[in-house]
Structure 1
């Protein structure tokens, strides 16, 4: 068999494996198709571990050096991160996060599970490295945590919209909610029940309107914004409970708002379901 035919066979076998991982065809169909192109059934990967071992076994010298160099570079960066200049530390955090995002975007259509894992890795990397920066430079007691929360929120929202990952998008808005709550706690003192409601309910109504406005162009964004609006609807009670503001009225307010929300959702169910589903 010529080298060209062998390369074509490998390409087809790898494509069938991609179909198997992506659940595009039933398992038995993938086995049947793969057996047509495998001369030796021992070459067939039994699972992900077997496929990984085969891939390592067939790796070229260039790939070995590339992986080894990448591993050594990561170790050196981790071990010497604290002695790097601040700008270099920020650049490393930004480049690392960008790498996770780029990988997730690359595998988004072909291997969604791998894309989600890379997205999760990017979220954890940005958060962990950001906290490490705050601790290294003694910024944990000042505005540092708020700035980190804002940066994480911005990155998660943009990446969630761009990669069409609703959970990441929603996590970004939850970070915004946490940032807003922190700012309220720092700049308000002993607010009344009416003031607490006024802090949050207009935002809930705003996100409800944004859910309707955005669902036509960004289908997944409609559900995310609607979910954020629901969280904001009950945030006054949660905010009051966390800070001990007028605790005796929290349960009554929560029940009344839950009943009101149930009536509104039932009354307009045919409209808001179009935004979310």
Structure 2
């Protein structure tokens, strides 16, 4: 089996400095890396772009934009689009944000997400960056992401050119949905990114960190991969894990384990 589609999302080894992540990927024969704005800013945008470019790595996505209920969301997202373009990232992942403070109007919040993406789409198109709407598990709807299903993400994305606005299929967030395979087929060319990890039980106290490396949980990862392939997606497959236990391990060990889990349970 090949690593041709494998991408290592740097959040999986959160404590590994960016130069070491890049060097580790090169040494392991990994072709792609998913980047996050905060560590990129810490290292420097221009330095980060040069680092990955000189290493021959493809930047498969930049995370994240969105949070459309926050003050200053428009300016922040325009900066994120510019950063993605500078890094050569084809996709900017959008986490839409939760309910505005004091609001219970989730329908209105979802309408605001669609309106915000409509404002950003021309800027993203001009920059050559696709906006990738990521649905999050419903337990995050109140505070992080009112877009809770792939179907809801597609309801927004389908208003735009698929080359400009797409969706993210993240195994952690969609595996539970009994409509997910029909929605993946519906998504077709709108699939902008495919991210994998596993779901563990019992969930830790911080549920956002309830992820595991591929094969260490209960998700049918290969079935999801086969579904996105059947829908026509041929792009990178990012391993993205938020886990205190994983983060405590040496970065090179995490990368090796991510590759092994990917080859055994995803590819």
TM-based fold match above 0.5: no
State TM-score, norm by structure 2: 0.31
> In proportion to residue count, which structure has more strand?
2
State TM-score, norm by structure 1: 0.30
Greater gyration radius = 1
> In proportion to residue count, which structure has more helix?
1
